[in-house]
Amino acid sequence: MSITNKKIAIIGGGPGGLTLARLLQINGATVKVYERDKDRKVRVQGSTLDLHDDSGLKALEQGGLMDAFRENYRPGADLMRVTDKTAQIRYDQHEQGKGQDFGEAYFRPEIDRGPLRNILLDSLDPDTVVWNCHIVSISKVNGLWMLQFEDGTQVSADLVIGADGANSKIRKFVTDIVPVYSGVTMIEGTVYDAAQNAPRLWELTQGGKVFALGDNKTLVTSAKGDGSLSFYTGCKVDESWVKECGINFNDHRQLLEWFKETYKNWDKIWEELFTNDHTQFIPRPQYYMPLHQTWETQSDITIIGDAAHVMPPYAGEGVNMAMLDALELSECLTNSEYVEARDAIAAYEQRMRKRAFETTQMTLGQTETLHGPDALETLLDLFKN
């Protein structure tokens, strides 16, 4: 095993990093995960996650965690409604009955981010995750990586794995290739106590998802198990729009006015997302990594997940790609055929980049289509066929 007697540092405690830690630990590796969150009780934002048989669920199966997943996933949360901008339902998986149980062709079980994180955290050895560690820099000292954190703490590691997301601090030590703007910017938010604060949309979402299309724009809502409704808009704007638009994204009144103007032909039901004082809005320009990215493999550092291949979320592949990265990297690092870590990492990176090329290409095509003039009819035809 190429990592025998090596100290492994995983930067980032998201699904990819925690999955990797679990898979390495059950193979006897020495692992620490350094996470910037203050502790595990910090509220986890974002929409629910749909896991796929050949990636996310496969990684959980290899980690011996499928029983825990079955106990915590949300039946019915995978069901989607497609609407036009007037909120007229044009396609309804609740009526179609697709994806009702494990093993069915259309089933992509959904789980909230918090419960998934807890499953992974509870599977790790005590003190595997070091909380409140915001990495500032890394450097080589006497053949080891020295990790410098914001609070002044320093630790050393033989092998560093960047699982620290789209704004990875580790990526630049692996490659100087930078992400490319996709042409689409999202505004993400969450309405808490949605049955009270967004009752019409809560009813429309039916515990699952709503995908609304029109006027070259998208709007997606997703119900969560805590009674909140997460959502994100999608519009074609310049890359500099967030900085130049003049909107204070902490002011829901400004966001409401922006929505009324930008989505001016949309039904007023959608305005429920922007009328609550406690909603936090996050602008998210969507980036992707160049399709043909490549770099020279190193023996003691690599990247997984969004740090390696960030892409827009419209194909639902992000978390699944990260967890499959974790599975494939762990298999390479613990494979007795690879005596040297460089060989194991090279095998992983080659497979990962091939997958990333294919998935990014597909995702970019979907992103363009969903923000085009015929988006609704194209999506409806896809479901019909």
Which residue ranges are tagged as binding site for NADPH? 43
Residues at the binding site are 43, 50, 113, 306
Q: Can you tell me the distance from the alpha carbon of 319 to that of 114, in angstroms, rounded to the nearest whole number?
A: 14
Contact 57, 34 (CB under 8 A): no
Total length of the chain: 385
Q: Can you tell me the distance from the alpha carbon of 89 to that of 7, in angstroms, rounded to the nearest whole number?
A: 53
Contact 20, 10 (CB under 8 A): yes
Q: How far is CA 138 from CA 148, 304, 347, in A?
A: 6, 17, 24
Give Cα 218 to chain centroid, integer Å: 18
Contact 144, 157 (CB under 8 A): yes
- 91 in helix, strand or coil? strand
> Closest by alpha carbon to 314, among 374, 259, 247, 369?
369
Q: Can you tell me the distance from the alpha carbon of 15 to that of 284, in angstroms, rounded to the nearest whole number?
A: 20
As given in the structure block, the two tokens for residue 203 are: 């009813």
Residue 156 parent element (H or E): strand 154-157
Q: Following CA atoms 337, 341, 346, 348 in sequence, which dihedral angle do they give, to the nearest 10 degrees?
A: 70
Contact 12, 35 (CB under 8 A): yes
Residues at the binding site for FAD are 50, 113, 306
The Cβ of residue 108 has, within 10 Å, a number of other Cβ atoms equal to: 19
Q: Can you tell me the distance from the alpha carbon of 183 to that of 368, in angstroms, rounded to the nearest whole number?
A: 9
Strand partners, 32: 9
